């Protein structure tokens, strides 16, 4: 009996391993921390493994067009996944909004950034970091914000651009820029700004940062890819997403 039970357990373990698969996921840099947590929970719950790459949405689009073997894209906007779907690189009907991001003006220095963003008008800083609007949707939102505030012309000579929102955060965190526009998810911990000073930009100053996911045609036959997109819609993943300041 024990021998039979042992054989059954080994067979089940082999079957689970045989059914488990990997999915290659291109993830917008602002979603790094929550996606790392979600990927761990995904593997624990399904046995599938998500292999994550982080970067700028615009750069991922170029890589996908050039044949990069990603199977799922988690973008920082809704335009890029829609374009991918239209151009036949994404599976029709697979696209959905997994989170809506929030833009924040942040400095690691306490009390430097006020709660209304008035420092942008005062000009009391030497460098301000912004993600490249050509590659990063959060960079587009930052430019829109400064334009609507009427400060872009004055601020522009002081701007330094990161290739993506992760590099933009590093400019500020290392002191190469005194402040800058980043994603709220990068500076929030337990529902609070973890350090420094910040202004959460009101949504009426820029277009909504709707972040869409899409199943790429390279992943249409991969069960792990379909499972990951389904997992992202579940409450376990949604709880993680909310904890990083995103709206659903």
* Inter-CA distances, 230 with 17, 44, 94, 117, Å: 20, 15, 10, 38
The pLDDT assigned to 20 comes to 80
What are the tens digits of pLDDT across the range 169-210? 999 999 999 999 999 999 998 778 888 999 999 999 999 999
| pTM, 2 dp | 0.84
Residue range 16-42: mean pLDDT, rounded: 89
Residue 32 in contact with residue 166, Cβ under 8 Å? yes
Dihedral angle computed from the Cα positions of residues 186, 188, 189 and 191, in that order, rounded to the nearest 10 degrees:
-150
CB-CB neighbours of 157 under 10 Å: 7
Residue 58 in contact with residue 241, Cβ under 8 Å? no
The pLDDT assigned to 180 comes to 98
pLDDT band (50, 70, 90) for residue 19: low
pLDDT band (50, 70, 90) for residue 233: very high
Q: Does the pLDDT of residue 11 top 50, yes or no?
A: no
Average pLDDT for the chain: 91
DSSP for the chain, written as a single string: -HHHHHHHHHHHHHHHHHH--EEEEEEEGGGHHHHHHHHHHHHHHHS-EEEEEEE-HHHHHHHHHTT---SEEE-SSSHHHHHHHHTTSB-TT--EEEEEE-EEEEESSTTTS-TT-THHHHT--S-EEEE-TTT-HHHHHHHHHHHHHT-HHHHGGGEEEESSHHHHHHHHHTTSSSEEEEEGGGTEETTEE-SSEEEEPPGGGS--EEEEEEEBGGGTT-HHHHHHHHHHTSHHHHHHHHHTT-B-
Q: Does the pLDDT of residue 12 top 90, yes or no?
A: no
The pLDDT assigned to 192 comes to 83
The pLDDT assigned to 5 comes to 44
The pLDDT assigned to 162 comes to 95
Domains of the chain: 2-100+209-243 (3.40.190.10), 103-200 (3.40.190.10)
What does the chain come to in residues? 248
The pLDDT assigned to 177 comes to 97
**Least trusted range by pLDDT, from 15-19, 106-110, 223-227:** 15-19
Residue 76 in contact with residue 138, Cβ under 8 Å? yes
What are the tens digits of pLDDT across the range 72-125? 999 999 999 999 999 999 999 999 999 999 999 999 999 999 999 999 999 899
């Amino acid at each position: 009996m024990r021998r039979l039970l042992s054989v059954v357990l080994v067979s089940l373990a082999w079957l689970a391993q045989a059914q488990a698969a990997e999915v290659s996921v291109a993830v917008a840099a602002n979603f790094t921390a929550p996606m790392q947590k979600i990927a761990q929970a995904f593997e624990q719950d399904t046995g599938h493994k998500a292999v994550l790459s982080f970067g700028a949405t615009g750069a991922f689009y170029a890589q996908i067009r050039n044949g990069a073997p990603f199977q799922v894209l988690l973008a920082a906007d809704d335009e890029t996944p829609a374009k991918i779907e239209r151009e036949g690189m994404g599976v029709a009907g697979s696209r959905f909004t997994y989170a809506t991001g929030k833009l924040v003006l942040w400095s690691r220095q306490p009390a430097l950034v006020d709660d209304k963003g008035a420092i942008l008008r005062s000009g009391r800083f030497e460098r301000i970091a912004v993600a490249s609007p050509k590659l990063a949707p959060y960079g587009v939102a930052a430019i829109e914000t400064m334009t609507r505030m009427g400060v872009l012309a004055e601020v522009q000579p002081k701007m330094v651009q990161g290739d993506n929102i992760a590099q933009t955060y590093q400019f500020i965190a290392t002191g190469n820029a005194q402040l800058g526009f980043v994603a709220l998810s990068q500076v929030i911990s337990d529902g609070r700004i973890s350090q420094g000073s910040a202004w959460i930009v009101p949504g009426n100053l820029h277009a909504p940062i709707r972040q869409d996911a899409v199943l790429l045609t390279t992943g249409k036959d991969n069960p792990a890819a379909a499972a990951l997109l389904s997992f992202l819609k579940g409450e376990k993943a949604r709880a993680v997403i909310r904890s990083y300041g995103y709206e659903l």
